[in-house]
């Protein structure tokens, strides 16, 4: 089983991720991992923190001579901002603790501040927001990059693009080549394949900047090159759609997920929604008349592109704060404001890629197993031959 965990707080010393169960022999490029970390930091609407941080992965175990060796992989990413916080959030309350606390006592509507403080019985939400922060996703992106590298060994690529920012939506389907080109750009605006739409998206973020507000949106993750047969219909927890939904909604600020054209499907009749089945006798392959199912039927991949969307609410830290309550006095008060982002939709897409890649790598290894990449490939090739002769 492929397992992963993260640790780390927004203003702690570093973020940590472990990834256990990747076969030995997977080539690893730290530059590639860092490129994914860089992509997560981009986009018009990011806050001041991204000017402080230059996220870099330090792989401390599980990789030698640019290959996985089968042992648990641990990755560290330093928080450069730690130097400004080490006296505020010291590990031990000794000499270093000069009483420089930064309590958060006016919880932000929409944030984990208040439910977390109640749950953990804190008078100050600081410890809650430190972990609830989306800074944690840096660690997910680092190990997600390893999952993506693993999948690429089998011709599977996972990328994302932005299809909505606030009220502005991309009105046409994106071609895979456009999504690939977007991921190679060194200048990231809002991660949309259509320049005119992207400019209007920028207008929505500009409006949020001007008014002290924030804005959400929709990203789409596409996994290209998947074989049919990953995931399973047999139990609720092996269905790939359910596993992907959890992975996407677990991303900070994501409140909804859509696989394929779920919302449109719910408003339509069956004859307008199902993807018709066709067979190419020369290529000996099935294909579909459309891909409204988003590449999944019965919780199993069907060989079409996997399409998963994440719906982000606007970030809950507002420069023009909303009504809240002062925890010590219980009097009405405006919510706390701490340096924050205004819009993060392209970054959330990169995090979505990482989560989709991790879930796909898990399901892939459940099907094909293998302690070494060679063994996994042999098992995969055997299955591919079986599918060809189906």
Task: List interacting residues with ligand EPS (CB under 6 A).
Answer: 10, 47-49, 81, 133-135, 137-138, 252, 317, 339-341
Return the half-sphere exposure (C-beta side, CA atoms, 13 A cut-off) of residue 112.
Answer: 15
Which contacts (CB < 8 Å, 24+ apart) does range 283-289 have?
284/388, 286/228
Closer to ligand EPS at the Cβ: 302 or 340? 340
- Name the token pair of 25: 């022999």
CB closer to ligand EPS out of 137 and 291: 137
CB of 384 to ligand EPS, least distance (A): 38
Rounded least distance, CB 302 to ligand EPS, Å: 34
Return the number of the residue (81 or 97) whose C-beta is nearest ligand EPS.
81
Give me the least distance between CB of 289 and ligand EPS, in Å please: 40
According to the 3-state scheme, what is the secondary structure of 329-365? CCCEEECCCCCCCCCCHHHHHHHHHHHHHHHHHHHHH
- Pick between residue 10 and residue 302 the one whose CB is nearest to ligand EPS: 10
67: left (phi over 0), alpha (psi -120 to 50) or beta: beta
Q: Report the distance separating Cα 20 and Cα 24, nearest Å.
A: 11
Task: At 114, list the tokens.
Answer: 């208040």
Closest to ligand EPS by CB, 110 vs 299, is 110
The Cα 345–Cα 191 span in angstroms is 8
Considering beta carbons, is residue 47 or 116 the nearer one to ligand EPS?
47
Burial grade of 178 (CB within 10 A; 0-12, 13-18, 19 or more): middle
61 or 87: CB nearest ligand EPS: 87
Give Cα 51 distance to the centre of its chain.
21
- Is residue 257 within a helix (H) or strand (E), and if so which, with residue range? strand 254-259
Residue 155's Cα: distance from chain center in Å? Answer: 21
CB distance 158 to 151 below 8 Å: yes
Least CB distance from residue 357 to ligand EPS, whole Å?
Answer: 18
Instruction: Work out how close the CB of 107 gets to ligand EPS at its nearest, in angstroms, rounded to a whole number.
Output: 13
Q: Outline where 250-344 has alpha helix (H).
A: 262-266, 270-273
Contact 86, 98 (CB under 8 A): no
CB of 188 to ligand EPS, least distance (A): 14
Helix, strand, coil percent values for the chain (each to nearest 5) = 35, 20, 45
Specify the residue, 226 or 312, whose C-beta has the smaller distance to ligand EPS.
Answer: 312
Query: How near is the Cβ of 317 to ligand EPS at its closest, in Å?
Result: 5
Quote the least distance from Cβ 115 to ligand EPS, whole Å: 15
């Amino acid at each position: 089983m492929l397992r992963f965990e993260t640790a780390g707080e927004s203003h702690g010393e570093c973020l940590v991720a472990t990834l256990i169960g990747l076969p030995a022999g997977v080539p690893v490029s730290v530059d590639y991992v860092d490129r994914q970390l860089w992509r997560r930091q981009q986009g018009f609407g990011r806050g001041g923190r991204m000017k402080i941080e230059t996220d870099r992965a330090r792989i401390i175990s599980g990789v030698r001579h640019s290959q996985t060796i089968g042992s648990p992989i641990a990755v560290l990413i330093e928080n450069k901002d730690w130097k400004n916080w080490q006296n505020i959030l010291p590990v031990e309350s000794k000499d270093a603790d000069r009483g420089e606390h930064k309590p958060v006592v006016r919880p932000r509507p929409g944030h984990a501040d208040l439910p977390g403080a109640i749950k953990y019985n804190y008078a100050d939400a600081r410890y809650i927001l430190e972990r609830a922060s989306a800074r944690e996703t840096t660690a997910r992106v680092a190990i997600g990059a390893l999952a993506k590298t693993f999948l690429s060994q089998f011709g599977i690529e996972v990328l994302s693009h932005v299809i909505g920012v606030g009220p502005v939506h991309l009105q046409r389907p994106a071609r895979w080549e456009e999504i690939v080109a977007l991921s190679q750009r060194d200048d990231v605006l809002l991660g949309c394949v259509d320049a005119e739409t992207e400019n209007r998206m920028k207008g929505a973020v500009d409006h949020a900047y001007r008014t002290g507000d924030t804005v959400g949106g929709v990203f789409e993750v596409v996994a290209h090159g998947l074989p049919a047969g990953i995931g399973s219909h047999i139990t609720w927890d092996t269905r790939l759609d359910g596993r992907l939904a959890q992975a996407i909604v677990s991303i900070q600020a994501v409140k909804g997920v859509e696989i394929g054209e779920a919302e449109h499907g719910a408003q339509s009749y069956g004859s307008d929604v199902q993807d018709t089945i066709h067979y190419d006798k020369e290529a000996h392959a099935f294909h579909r008349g459309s891909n409204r199912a988003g590449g999944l039927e019965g919780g199993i991949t069907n060989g079409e592109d996997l399409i998963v969307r994440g719906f982000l609410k606007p970030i809950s830290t507002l420069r023009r704060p909303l009504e809240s309550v002062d925890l010590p006095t219980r009097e009405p008060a405006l919510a706390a404001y701490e340096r924050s982002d205004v819009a993060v939709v392209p970054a959330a897409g990169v995090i979505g890629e990482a989560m989709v890649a991790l879930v796909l790598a898990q399901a892939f290894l459940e099907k094909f197993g293998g302690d070494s990449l060679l063994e996994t490939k042999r098992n995969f090739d055997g299955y591919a031959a079986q599918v060809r002769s189906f």
